[in-house]
A and B are shown apart, each in its own frame.
Chain A
Amino acid sequence: MDNNKKQAASGKAADSKKRKEAPSAATGTKNQNQQGKDSRPPARPQKRVKFQDARNIRSQPSDAALDDGKLDLQKFLHAREFEIKALETSMRKCKSANATRVFQQVPREMRRRTASHNAKRVPKRLRDRAKREMLEDNTPTVEARKRRPRTTRARIRAENAKRLEKLAAKKRKRALQREAEGENKDEPGKTTIQTRAPRPKIRRDTLNEPPKPKSKFKKRQINKTWLPTHLWHAKRATMTEPTKPLWRFAIPLTPTQKCYRPTHRASGQKGTVFWDTSYMSTVRLYGAAGGIEQVLKALGLVQESLWGNRGRKWRNGTRTWSGMVSRQQGSSRRDVGPATIIWNPTPTDETTAPESNTTEQKKTQRQILIRTHPSCFLELFDELVKLAKLQTPQVHVEDLRFEIGSIELTGPGSTETLLAVLQPYHTEERHGQVFSSLVGVTNPASLPKDAVLGFSVKDPRLSYPPKRVDTASKVSDPALLDTLTQWPVEEQVKPYGLFDRDVRFKASSLPPQKSINRRKGANIPGQEIQVTAADPPIPVIVFASRPTAGGQAQGTWTLLAPWKCILPIWYSIVHYPLSTGGNPRLGGLNEQRQIAFEQGTAWFPGDFLGTNAGVVWEMEQRAQRKKAWDRRPKGKRIEWASLDLGAGRKGEIGDGLACDFEHLFGLPKDPSPSSSGNQSTLDVDPNAMDVDPGEEAEAASKLGKPHKDTLPSLATVEQMKKTEFNALVSSANLVRPPPRSIISVNITFVTRGVANACARIYRLPSRPSATTTVPSSEAEVPATDPVAAGIGSLPADLRDQWLQKLPSQKSGSRCSKTTTTHAAPHIPHGVDQGTRKQLMAKSLLSGDPLPYPRPSAANQTDIGGGHPLCPGEEDLIGFVTAGAYSLSEGKGTAVGAISAEKAFDTLQECKSGNNKEGRLCIVRNAGESVGWLARWELV
């Protein structure tokens, strides 16, 4: 029985070459070993002999240096020359026979766990050596196909596979027979009717279904949709858990390789990072221009600049608009999420004629694309449908989520990568020409702000592998500077192909890889494949965006293309050889957040607690932190209740595992912050994607307002914009911001300190009103003056203590002198042993003895001898949502949110004095008693 199986398996091996195969020689030795062990010497001793041989250095007998027993110069010379040669050969041999195996020599990103026993896991050029080494080492190899199934499930699968194989063979045979019959009959069998490939249905004003997955992968996509590059990513990145998709998608979270520092480098200095952001949702809005304008205005795009003359370029479709959209909620507006809006240009000759006639212009049919984040998509889509229905004539909404995919790139090499991959299809297209002339651009942010280019490109597989773009000759080319300043995209602008459903569909039916391979094979090696009628143009839109922080930071390219064209483009990008060396680096969700953090900008949805999507994210994070906290043993986790904040304060303020704005604003606490079930129904609704048409309306209505009923009390917190807040602060009349509003801030530590998520942000404590004029001399001795403050209350001069921590003040040095009286004298660097000993002796003998018992309990007036206490709870103003040591700043930074009201009050207080004190804050990590001085800026 077993033998039969084996034979069958080996038979299979013969006719179908599969991936994993042990080196044939290795199996040969195994067989030999089974038959007779002495037919071949064992591998290990052989290797040992080899090593010994390599390490042996040849030498001459002494006669070689003597001429008949006499000393001779010539012989002397020959002896030395022989020695040199012998030593050199020994060094060479040793190096070649060193103990490393080939799989240890490949660069880190090419290492594979199984490379030690599977030769196919090393690069091709090393494969032969790997096989030989495995043979020498007698490495046991396992052939996956021949492995006996161990578990019940595996056995069932194996049986299934066998049965399926039989079926397939039968089918193949039948097909062959039919073919033979057809040949016999010849003519009558031919079909004359040609059918059109089915176009996917796009229904207007409702959600659309995701593309039908292959039946092989159907079961895995029941609750989620795969990105077009899922199979590629699943091997190279940590994906979201199968049962817990993020925003109804399986999204790569982070590459499997360690990449924190490489990502920082690639995004700022050298190289490029790229993402498949096909999960971003796209909506098309079409109808009369006036109606569209009304809808957009209702979404919060009310700025004069957009609809006046300044927004003409945007409305013509040559610029994008990116920003937060909002919706009316009761009497106030609530942010929904970030969106990018692109208008489809109308042909130039038409737009110029009716320029004067505004009513005519309002009636022209226009289209826009709204690209938004999937976490706020359902909310926005619902709002859009509602608004679109109000317009007369009606404006329609199309859900293009699975029609249009996107790729984002950032970093100095992003432009050249795109240039190599995207080759314009039509040479006469204006936008294509402009795009091709961008050779030499090293920062997408150097393009005009929000520039858009829409054109069609060739199938990137035709010129695969991508060739390196010659950037060196084009740097500081005057023509390039001209292009960047003039930006000649306005003339002969045509509607973008990506808006057109038929064009998208045509592009989606690209010729199969097989036919491209065939054409490549027929071509002369090295020659590019010519574009034929079978290769449809791929409509793309690329736009550059600048980071909101401004400055020298790298911008981002976004490439929109039909969903099914993302994969070929992706493969080309992956393999593009950058001019600075290496390939583009893969990024995941964490890398996106990391780059946003390093640029000092807020990341949606994690840093936007004032939006529903942000609230959902925060709730999920809380649940995750709670789970991680619960899993730790009791002795190794932070016991929140026993945290000593100093001055008799015990316990963490609010929930230590949350950005506890409920506590800050006095909102009702949710029953359990860890009830993730609540959130999962909210966010991850399986019905959201594939529902029957009948149920759809019901599902949509359910999805339309899930937030009001199920969202926690945190959702009543409102986000305030930077501009609004600045206007309030600078205005003369004291209009306070609404009570439950927050503003996003970027925090930089003044001296030391690194914040984590959930860290508490305090403002500087105010001076007690009775003693407004505290002499600064008192503040210098905070540590040794326990009388200044009563037990159980904060010191009166806490603010001054904190202000002394500012490095620029001269009193800082004096302060440090006074506070370190108890510490041993600092021994300067670079002194010799004798001085060291003297200093040590001096410090032991003459130092003041420590007072005993200590004058006050620990953390009563200061922390650890000299560090000021944290301010009280009344000075808590906000929380950090993301924080770490920033590689770009070289110190700790954080992104967080603070209460707009308290920030406003603080700024008003400090308005009379110097304004800088108002933006100082103290950041304390949750569960720690030490706070550090920091400065906040609005983002």
Chain B
Amino acid sequence: MVRLKDRYLLVNIVYTDLPTGQKGPVPDLLLYNQPTIGELRPQTILKGIRSQVNALFGDCGSGSVERSLQVKYLSTATSTFILRISRAHYRLVWAALTFMDRLPVKDGRPCVFRVVRVSGTIRKVEEEAIRRAKLLVLAAKDEMAGKASSDALNALFRGDKDSVRNLALVNDDHDDAEMDEGEVSDG
């Protein structure tokens, strides 16, 4: 049976500067995981990615991405979104996300789009999002208690070592590897 095969990308938007109007020192946890402005709609994200893909890969690239790209979930409060893209072309989208350095809105703030999980089913992506949110909650609680360095936060940003090794493998034999599922860490 012919089946459409997709990949789901879990993407975090990471900020490094303070929003306007914010004063005083802000804990790292809050600094990096700021909410995104409400003007960011699914359509604007798609538009931004498409234009980036077009810039990077030309018409061929944008044409192949055009049809299957879809935003399954967008939460501006937590700066998280889930993308769906056909399995053959998810690397183009990933590359485009890597090259995007500002929000694709008017006068967008500088940010990093961090792909944290690639999966074949949305379920696994959701599970990962829940896991990360739980870690963040733990980290926030630690922050409130006044601990200097939180284990949860470290776990979140460092990523476990296995995934690092996986990533290295993917880079090595890039041509024949179909290692496209699993957690991704760039830390």
In the complex the two chains form, is B77's CB within 8 Å of A64's CB?
Answer: yes
Task: Report Cα–Cα, A76/B153, bound state, in Å.
Answer: 14
* Interfacial chain B residues near A62, Cβ < 8 Å: 35-38, 76-77
Q: Which residues of B contact A72 (CB under 8 A)?
A: 30
A87 contacts chain B at the CB level, 8 A cutoff:
yes
Determine if B78 and A79 form an interchain contact, defined as CB atoms under 8 angstroms apart: yes
Quick one: which of A64-87 are within 8 Å of B by CB? 64-66, 69-73, 76-77, 79-84, 86-87
> Are B35 and A66 interface neighbours, CB within 8 A?
yes
B26 closest partner in A (C-beta): A71
Contacts of A82 in B (CB 8 A): 77
A831 to chain B, nearest CB (A): 15
Residues of chain B contacted by A83 (CB below 8 angstroms): 75, 77-78, 80, 129-130, 133
Question: Which chain B residues in 1-35 approach chain A with CB under 8 Å?
Answer: 19, 21-22, 26-27, 29-31, 33-35
Q: Which one of B22, B76, B123 contacts A61 once the chains associate, using CB atoms below 8 Å?
A: B76
Q: Which of A57, A63, A71, A91 contacts B38 (CB 8 A)?
A: A63
Enumerate chain A residues within 8 angstroms of B147, measured Cβ to Cβ: none
Give the A interface residue count (CB, 8 A): 28
On chain A, the residues within 8 Å of B73 by CB distance are 57, 59
Q: Judge whether B130 and A73 touch: CB under 8 Å.
A: no
Check A73–B144 contact: CB distance below 8 A: yes
Interface residues of B: mostly helix, strand, loop or mixed?
mixed
Q: Provide the bound-state CA to CA distance between A63 and B72, in Å.
A: 21
B140 contacts partner chain A, Cβ-Cβ < 8 Å: yes
When the two chains form the complex, which single residue of A69, A79, A88 contacts B77, counting CB atoms closer than 8 Å? A79
Q: Which residues of A contact B129 (CB under 8 A)?
A: 83, 87
Across-interface contacts of B78 in A (CB, < 8 A): 60, 65, 79-80, 83
Q: Which A686-702 residues sit within 8 Å CB-CB of chain B?
A: none
* Distance A59 CA – B79 CA, assembled complex (angstroms): 11
Chain B residues 26 to 56 lying within 8 A of chain A, measured CB to CB, are 26-27, 29-31, 33-38
B75 touches A73 (CB 8 A): no
B137 adjacent to chain A (CB < 8 Å): yes
Chain A residue contacts of B38, Cβ below 8 A: 61-63
Give the contacting residue for B75; candidates A59, A69, A70, A76; CB below 8 A. Answer: A59
Which of chain B's residues have a CB closer than 8 A to the CB of A94?
123
Are B36 and A77 in contact (CB-based, < 8 A)?
Answer: no
For the complex, give the distance between the alpha carbons of A77 and B80 in Å: 15
Interface string of B148-173 (1 = CB under 8 A from A): 00000000000000000000000000
Is the pair A84, B133 in contact by a Cβ cutoff of 8 Å?
yes
Residue of B nearest to A61 (CB): B38
> Any chain A CB within 8 A of the CB of B65?
no
B74 within 8 A of A: yes
| Contact of B91 with A by CB under 8 A | no
Residue of A nearest to B123 (CB): A91
Q: Name which of A62, A72, A94 has the most chain B CB atoms within 10 A of its CB.
A: A62
Interface residue count on the B side (C-beta < 8 Å): 35
Q: Are A59 and B30 in contact (CB-based, < 8 A)?
A: no
Contact A90 B133 (CB under 8 A): no
Q: By CB atoms of chain A within 10 A, which of B37, B75, B127, B140 has the most? A: B75
Contacts of B77 in A (CB 8 A): 59-65, 79, 82-83
Tell me, in angstroms, the Cα distance from A82 to B76 when the chains sit together. Answer: 12
Q: Is the beta-carbon distance between A73 and B27 smaller than 8 angstroms?
A: yes
By a CB distance below 8 angstroms, the chain A residues around B33 are: 76
With a cutoff of 8 Å between Cβ atoms, the chain B residues found around residue A57 in the complex are: 72-73, 126
Known contacts A60-B75, A83-B77; is A71 also within 8 Å of B136 by CB? no
B-side contacts of A84, CB under 8 Å:
130, 133-134, 137
Contact: B140 with A73, CB < 8 Å?
Answer: yes
A83 to B76, CA, bound (A): 11
Whole-angstrom CA separation of A91 from B131 in the bound complex: 14
Q: How far is the CA of A88 from the CA of B22 in the complex (A)?
A: 33
Check A90 against B126 for contact (C-beta < 8 Å): yes
Q: Which residues of A contact B21 (CB under 8 A)?
A: 69-70
On chain A, the residues within 8 Å of B134 by CB distance are: 80, 84
| Contacting residue for A80 out of B22, B37, B127, B136, CB 8 A | B136
Are A79 and B30 neighbours in the complex by a CB distance under 8 Å? no
B66 contacts partner chain A, Cβ-Cβ < 8 Å: no
**Per-residue B-contact encoding for A37-62, CB less than 8 Å = 1, 0 else:** 00000000000000000000101111
Of all A-B residue pairs in the complex, the 10 with the closest CB atoms, nearest first, are A59-B75, A65-B35, A60-B77, A62-B76, A62-B35, A65-B77, A79-B77, A57-B73, A80-B133, A71-B30
Contact residues of A with B, CB < 8 Å? 57, 59-66, 69-73, 76-77, 79-84, 86-88, 90-91, 94
Q: Which residues of B are in contact with A by a Cβ distance under 8 Å?
A: 19, 21-22, 26-27, 29-31, 33-38, 72-78, 80, 123, 126-127, 129-130, 133-134, 136-137, 140-141, 143-144
* 16 CB < 8 A contacts A-B: A59-B77, A60-B77, A61-B76, A61-B77, A62-B76, A62-B77, A70-B22, A71-B19, A72-B30, A80-B136, A81-B133, A84-B130, A87-B129, A87-B130, A91-B126, A91-B127
